[in-house]
Structure 1
Amino acid sequence: MRSANSGWTAARGCGPRRRGRGRGRPWRRPPRSRTPGRPASACCSGVPLERRRASGWVTRHNERVTTTSADSGRSRARAGGARRRGKGSTALASERREHLVRLAAELFAEKGYQATTVRNIADEAGILSGSLYHHFDSKESIVDEILAGFFNEITVSYQAVLDRGESPRDTIAGLVRVAFGSLEPHRAAITVMQNDWNYLKGMDRFSYLNKSEDEVEKMWVDTLSAGQKDGLFRDDLDPKLTYRMIRDTIWVAVRWFKPGGRLDAQGLADHYLKVMFDGINLH
């Protein structure tokens, strides 16, 4: 006859007892298996934990982020690669933008600003019109960059001549040389100024053109006035009118001056200074 509680015992046991789970010997969870491929010594408790972590033997299982030394190295390498790619992409975009500005400047100089469309610029660059708007929000932004770059550079160059503190005659000669020296690198910008100045300066966006021109004019007029006071220049000439005649005769040369011809820009400046200071009459 079965014991009264034998059914309860069988249901409770549901199979053979696990070894070591008797009353006198409490059951323990089997140890976790070591990482495949790791040497037994890597997981032994005789090696300090921090040393094992530093060597990459163990991971930080119980911490918020689980990494190994090798993982950290790979993460740093990936981050470095991403930064390098980011810098490369930025440089490429900058070069592309400069290329588009040069193409647009040539078209503005050839066809005129008003006659040149965004599609003309995109076709010249070999891209879709929509792609141009990744770099510029409008055609006005492009010509703005062209003219602002020209005025910034020539104003700095003029100021460098003034800062030399030379005589008014030598200063005027230096300003003339700077102006002629800008004909080649800024040919398109100067041509746009010649052709579209009145149209552009009437737009609010280009109000700075008048301010920039006033700043440049003051440099020349003050120098001419100083030369008159020093007795170097004729005092019966209007300094402002004299400057504007000098300015326009220099800028109009952009239409016929050919780099690589008989005279370079400085040779042209030398000839101009002879005519300006000495005239064409025999003395």
Structure 2
Amino acid sequence: MAVARSRKGSPKGEPAKGGGFDRRGQLLAVAAELFATQGYSKTTVRDIADAAGILAGSIYHHFDSKEAMLDEILRELLSGLHERFAAIEGRDDDPRATLSELVRASFAAIDEAPHAVAVYQNESGNLAREEAFAYIGAYSARIEKIWLRVLTAGQASGVFRPDLDVKPTYLFIRDAVWSTVRWYRPGGRLRSEAVADHYLGLLYGGLL
């Protein structure tokens, strides 16, 4: 999920594997940051080109449109999340350990791809109604099912409270975790691992 890493220093991108220059990756990183900070609708192809230090027309050598860039950012984010969560569930650990790893993976994704996560948070509600972005709802549903299965398994095994409705419990956890992207700063004083530990302490132990 490298498309949304924070750009630090020069906006000239990073070397691709083998020592080449990853222009597509650079443009996606620039676009993700602009979509996240000023909004998709307010960001123009010229804005992206200016931030990348190239002519606007040069973007079309790599992408058909601004929408194509958004599509690639979101597909990479969501497919990566689903793959990561499915792998965690597949380890068949006890439900509490699995839930903890799901939470840790979520915070790690925010650390790795803050701009892509922010774009998803800001834009997915409207985009999911568009046919070209129907996969957003599909991926969200698959991811939700993973978390619900883990919570349900935890109740069945006696690890989690049986009186809690798993659907709103998942929604509480989901929204609390992903809203962190609005204040968490990669490379700042708090590391994603520490944020995850703090959140899990609250989730399992509460304030009292």
- Counterpart of 1:233? 160
Give the 4+ runs in structure 1 shifted more than 6 A: none
Distance 1:143 1:184 in 2: 20
Matches within 5 A, 1:1-283: 92=20, 95-281=22-208
Distance 1:263 1:185 in 2: 14
Q: Which amino acid in 2 is paired with 1:276? A: L
Distance 1:114 1:158 in 2: 30
Q: Secondary structure at the match of 2:111?
A: coil
- Counterpart of 1:46? none
Distance 1:255 1:245 in 2: 17
1:259 shift after superposition: 2.4
Distance 2:20 2:97 in 1: 43
1:261 shift after superposition: 3.0
Q: Secondary structure at the match of 1:233?
A: coil
- Counterpart of 1:77? none
Q: Which amino acid in 2 is paired with 1:263? A: L
Gaps of 5+ in 2: 1-15
TM-score by length of 1: 0.65
Q: Secondary structure at the match of 2:170?
A: helix
**Cα deviation per residue 1:84-142 (whole Å; 9 max; x = unaligned)?**
xxxx9xx857x111110001011001101111111111111222222211111111110
1:244 shift after superposition: 1.3
**Cα deviation per residue 1:179-238 (whole Å; 9 max; x = unaligned)?**
011112110111011211112112111000000000000000011011111111112211
Distance 1:127 1:261 in 2: 30
Q: How many residues align?
A: 192
Q: Which amino acid in 1 is paired with 2:36? A: A
Distance 2:52 2:190 in 1: 33
Larger radius of gyration: 1
Q: Which amino acid in 1 is paired with 2:65? A: S
Identity, % of aligned positions = 45
Q: Which amino acid in 2 is paired with 1:127? A: I
Q: Which amino acid in 1 is paired with 2:142? A: E
User: Which of 1 and 2 has higher RCO (CA within 8 Å, sep 6+)?
Assistant: 2
| Structure having the larger proportion of residues in helix | 2
Distance 2:205 2:96 in 1: 12
CA-atom RMSD, angstroms? 1.7
Distance 2:186 2:156 in 1: 38
Q: Secondary structure at the match of 1:183?
A: helix
1:260 shift after superposition: 2.9
**Cα deviation per residue 1:156-201 (whole Å; 9 max; x = unaligned)?**
1112211211111111001000001111211011101121111211
Distance 2:81 2:32 in 1: 17
Q: Which amino acid in 2 is paired with 1:147? A: L
